[in-house]
Amino acid sequence: MIEPRLIKNLIPIELVNFLDLEFTMIRDCMKKLNSSSGFDDPTVPNSFSWYSPICFEALSMYIKPIIEKELGEELYPSYSFGRIYMHGSELKKHTDRKSSEITVSCCLRKDPLVDWSLFFEHKNSVYEFNCDVGDAVIGCGNLDPHWRPVYTGKEHVQAFMQYVRKNGEFSHLKYDTRPCLASPYELTNDLIKNEYSNK
C-alpha cells in the first residue's frame, strides 16, 4: 500500500483548461441530444460521469512517467474516468474496483468560492486534501476508503486516472481488460462487468 499524497501542479494550467473544455463539451453534447448517458451514475447522483473519455485516456499516458517516478515502480494504465459534480453531489465513502490499484485524482475546475476536500482513510488515519486546479491526489483506490462531503458549489470537474502495478497481482487488469486504451467499457471482459455490478 502507498500513503495517500498530494502532487502540486501535476498538470500545466494550459493543459488543464483544454481538458476541462473537452470534457465539458461531452457533457453539453449529451444534454443537447437529450441523452441520459453520463447522467445516470448510481455512485454519485446529480453528476455527469464518463468512462474512458479519450482526453483522459491520453492524460493517463502523459502523466504515467511522473507517477512512476513518484512511486518508484512501473505501472500499466487500466482506465480513466471523468466526473462533473454539481450542487448537492456527494461522493460517499467507498473503495474502487481492483483496476484502481493506484488512483490519481486530478482537479480540473473548482468553484473559487468553495473548498471541497477529498478524504482518504489509510491505516486508521484520515487524510484530507484540498486541491487547487492542476493538483492531484495519489492513493490506493481499491484498498483505502475515500469520500467527499455534499458539494455546495456550482460545478467541480475531476479526472481520474487508474493504474495497476506492472509486476503486481493485478497486472492482468492492464487497460481494464480492454484491447487498448480509449476503447469502450463494453469491451471489458466479464470479470470487470461482474465486479462492477457487485460494487
Return the number of other C-beta atoms located less than 10 Å from residue 33's C-beta.
9
Span 57-76, pLDDT tens digits: 999 999 999 999 999 999 99
Check residue 43 and give its pLDDT.
87
What are the C-alpha distances in Å from 179 to residues 5, 12, 59, 86, 163? 31, 30, 18, 33, 15
Check residue 196 and give its pLDDT.
64
Span 10-25, pLDDT tens digits: 999 999 999 999 999 9
Query: pTM (2 decimals)?
Result: 0.94
Q: Is the pLDDT of residue 79 over 60?
A: yes
To the nearest whole percent, how much of the chain has pLDDT over 70? 98
The pLDDT-based confidence of 198 (bands split at 50, 70, 90) is low
Check residue 197 and give its pLDDT.
58
Region of 83 (left: φ > 0; alpha: ψ -120 to 50; beta: rest) is beta
Check residue 187 and give its pLDDT.
94
Do the beta carbons of residue 144 and residue 120 sit within 8 Å? yes
Mean pLDDT of the region 108-123: 96
Return the number of other C-beta atoms located less than 10 Å from residue 95's C-beta.
16
Q: What CA dihedral angle connects 160, 166, 170 and 175, to 10 degrees? A: 50
Residue 109: which of 171, 35, 23 has the closest Cα?
Answer: 23
Span 38-63, pLDDT tens digits: 998 888 999 999 999 999 999 999 99
